[in-house]
Amino acid sequence: MPRVTDPLKIRNMEIKNRLGFPPMMSGSISNGIPGEKFYNVYEPIAKGGVGLITVEASSTDPMNNPIQPCLGLDKNIPAFKEFTDRIHTYGTKIGIQFAHGGILTLMMVAIMRMNMPVWAPSSVDPVVASDAYDLINPNWRKDLEKTGFKEIHAMTVEEMDGVGNRFAAAAKRAIDAGFDYVEIHSAHGTLYHDFLSPYYNQRTDEYGGSWENKTRFLRETVAKMREKIGDKPIVTRISAEELLDDGLKVEDQQKVAVLYEKAGVDCIDVSQGIQVRTPMGINIPTYIPHGGFIHYPEAIKKVVNIPVIGVGSIIDVKMADEFIQQGKADIIYMGRQLITDPETPNKYFNGQTDDIKYCIGCQIGCGSVCVLNPFERHNYQELVPTEKSKKIIIIGAGIAGMEAARVAKIRGHDVELFEKSDKVGGLMHVVAAEYKKEQFMNIVNYQKTQLKKLNVPIHLNRELTNQEIMDLDCDVLVFAVGTEATIPVKFKDNPSVLTQDEAIMKTKSIGKNVVIWGLDTYWKGGAETTITLREQGYNIKAIAGSEKLLAGIITQARLTGRVTWIHRYFKENKIPMFTNAKLIDFSDNKVIIHDSDDKEHIIEADTLVHCGARTTPKKTLEKEFENVRFKINFIGDCKRPRDIQAAIRDAQTLARSL
Ligand SMILES: Cc1cc2nc3c(=O)[nH]c(=O)nc-3n(C[C@H](O)[C@H](O)[C@H](O)COP(=O)(O)OP(=O)(O)OC[C@H]3O[C@@H](n4cnc5c(N)ncnc54)[C@H](O)[C@@H]3O)c2cc1C
Ligand SMILES: Cc1cc2nc3c(=O)[nH]c(=O)nc-3n(C[C@H](O)[C@H](O)[C@H](O)COP(=O)(O)O)c2cc1C
């Protein structure tokens, strides 16, 4: 039985082990070619011990663009050669993914407001074609029209021929630049995928209808590439399923995989989903279990004789090893995990599993800078020892306090932590008690282990008095005391109005029929709290808030699997929602809400869960301790109620500056 540590051959290329880093857009390229940021993204991953790395979706067009590596130009070859030489010093094989956006170009039009043509097999309805946007923002069709967008362009055979030629020419440049293999993106809704898709491909010519026809475009491209790159491996990424009732199924892709193998593809990389319809297969939220898509590569492996790659929320090398031993995949890609901790393979192989920092699955940083490592990748700054060790006291052992303690101690400071409760982690215990968010405890567990190893004293159940604080013998005092959940004054004496924390942790009793207030306030308001309570059997009568979108914080940043999953849950379970609403009253088991048209709704409920603003004691503390002789700092939520990203960033920024 093969193990994850065993070498493997793809065509004639030998990889040293069976762990890989998948193509992941990082926004780190400098005008089409590798610069310092690009090295800071890829080099740590190579150094960390993976067998192979596939560079993110790259362009084959003869012009540099700001967001993609470009091998459409001969003049870019030397810069990429320097890059591949550097990666090869770690014994890692390096490939590059070539992608044509196809239907995904709609993302550029919709989010970046770029007036670009969208090429696809057929001119389908753009709103259906990217219905994840429509799900989240009902005004999306109007927004799209405002950009000047008219229609999806059905490609001509000449245009397809041109794309294939450019892919082949770029593959040749990649091999000349020292890449070991090339990958054609035929997944996630990119152009080659669109030709396989029942919705996107409605052609009646020799590129539509049968599987022979639908795969023709990619097979022709493989032939053109083969002519240019000889014996070098060609990998193809597919979406085993589109994750839609009427979408591509794995049984279809089994037929496709057989045809691809016959056409000369050397390895199939099996992903799932469409970025603009079902991104939960690509940016996989914590609601889907680790390795939850591994049955797809397993099914593809049954019909082909070439290596098959499996991917999808696999963060543990032990799990990867088990999948390989069970014959479910030949190679396992770890994406976000290697962004969180590029050293994961080496740490695992060397038995240092305690030191692995595991991904929490939050989907906030990912491609650019992981929320848990604010000074890595694009923002890389070396962590240097301090020249003068200081005595640092930190009050509050939530993630902000612990992170500051960890980094300050590594730098050589003398650090001590005081925590008023009986455990470390603060609000993260509430976060992790929400529906399928246990993974968020990964950061707490990591910090706790590291602080123990670093011998940082943590005094639990210890709330210092004001006098004790004033008498402290230290150089720096850090407040990381977090926030308090609040409810509006008018509901203060109403025992049926609960804060978000009370509802999640069940520290107060909740009735069966619940109204949730808050769509997008602190963090994401009540979106995940609603799901949590509903999954626990409570009857959610409605969710309402004064905001215009549910969970807008993550909606506007990027179309992630997490936000799409949330919105789909609300739609499928028909949870009544009031946006732009006013909360008028709650008494006698009646919640009174005015909707966006000022129409009154009286909702029978026995509990109102208020997912509202939180207060920080910062101002009070500043006043109380204005005359102390040491420097006072505030980090994390107590500085301003925000999120995990801000808590860790504040903590590291401070600890690196001391
Ligand atoms: C329901 C919910 C879901 C969330 N989901 C997400 C999410 O998915 N993603 C995300 O990015 N963010 C999320 N957040 C926000 C995130 O949890 C916080 O931003 C983060 O945990 C703040 O960390 P912190 O260390 O600054 O504060 P806290 O976690 O509040 O820690 C403060 C610590 O200080 C201690 N303390 C307080 N006073 C004293 C004192 N006087 N002496 C000693 N110790 C004291 C407390 O006991 C606590 O341990 C969520 C928040 C909630 C409420
Ligand atoms: C920020 C981000 C960027 C991505 N970019 C690409 C890409 O360029 N090409 C691609 O095929 N997949 C891309 N993906 C999908 C990843 O390759 C991978 O399949 C996904 O992250 C699931 O693996 P993981 O759970 O191990 O991270 C991207 C995913 C994320 C989160």
DSSP assignment letter at 152: P
At 69 the three-state DSSP class reads: coil
The torsion defined by the Cα of 567, 573, 579 and 583, in degrees rounded to 10, comes to: -140
Topology, domain 8-355: TIM Barrel (3.20.20)
Q: Which atom of ligand 2 is nearest to the CA of 314?
A: 26
Cα–ligand 1 centroid distance for 397 (angstroms): 9
Instruction: Please determine whether the domains at 8-355 and 485-615 fall in the same fold group of CATH.
Output: no
146-179: burial string, b at 16+ Cβ within 10 Å, e else: eeebeebeebeeeebeebbebbbbbbbbbbbbbb
DSSP assignment letter at 547: S
Pair 59, 71: CB distance under 8 Å: yes
pLDDT at 137: 78
- Residue 475 CB coordination number (10 Å): 17
**Among 366, 399, 418, 427, which residue has the most ligand 1 atoms within 8 Å of its CB, making it the best to mutate?**
427
At 409 the three-state DSSP class reads: helix
Q: In what order do the strands lie in the sheet with 577-578?
A: 497-499, 607-610, 513-517, 539-544, 577-578
Which sequence spans correspond to the domains of the chain?
8-355, 382-483+616-657, 485-615
Distance CA 67, CA 112 (A): 12
Q: Which atom of ligand 1 is nearest to the CA of 485?
A: 53
Q: Which atom of ligand 2 is nearest to the CA of 333?
A: 26
**Which residue's entry shows tokens 């282990």?**
449
Task: Tell me, using a 6 A CB cutoff, whether residue 271 lines ligand 2.
Answer: yes
**Cα–Cα nearest to 423, from 396, 446, 453:** 396
Distance CA 96, CA 340 (A): 21
Task: Tell me, using a 6 A CB cutoff, whether residue 335 lines ligand 2.
Answer: yes
pLDDT at 556: 44
Alpha helices in 342-475 (DSSP H): 344-349, 399-410, 428-433, 441-453, 466-470
Q: Which atom of ligand 2 is nearest to the CA of 187?
A: 11
DSSP assignment letter at 156: P
Q: What residue type is assigned to position 501 of the chain?
A: D
- 476-479 and 391-395 as β-strands: parallel, antiparallel, unpaired? parallel
Neighbouring-strand partners of residue 310: 270, 332
**Cα–Cα nearest to 531, from 366, 289, 286:** 286
Distance CA 592, CA 387 (A): 61
At 150 the three-state DSSP class reads: coil
Cα–ligand 1 centroid distance for 417 (angstroms): 16
Ligand at shortest distance from the CA of 292:
2
Tokens of 633: 């700092």
- Residue 116 CB coordination number (10 Å): 13
pLDDT at 557: 44
**Among 470, 621, 643, which residue has the most ligand 1 atoms within 8 Å of its CB, making it the best to mutate?**
643
Task: Tell me, using a 6 A CB cutoff, whether residue 307 lines ligand 2.
Answer: no
Block mean pLDDT (10 aa), the chain, length 658: 97 98 96 96 98 98 91 98 98 98 88 84 94 82 82 97 98 98 98 98 98 98 98 98 97 98 98 95 96 98 98 98 98 98 98 97 90 96 97 98 98 98 98 97 98 98 96 96 94 94 96 94 84 98 90 59 92 95 95 96 97 92 92 96 96 98
Task: Tell me, using a 6 A CB cutoff, whether residue 647 lines ligand 1.
Answer: yes
Topology, domain 382-483+616-657: Rossmann fold (3.40.50)
Q: Note the CATH architecture for domain 485-615.
A: 3-Layer(bba) Sandwich (3.50)
Neighbouring-strand partners of residue 21: 53
Distance CA 19, CA 309 (A): 9
At 109 the three-state DSSP class reads: helix
Containing 377, the helix (H) or strand (E) segment is none
Neighbouring-strand partners of residue 479: 395, 634
Neighbouring-strand partners of residue 607: 514
Q: Residue 588 burial by CB count (10 A; 0-12/13-18/19+): exposed, middle or buried? A: exposed
**Residue with CA nearest ligand 2 atom 10:** 23
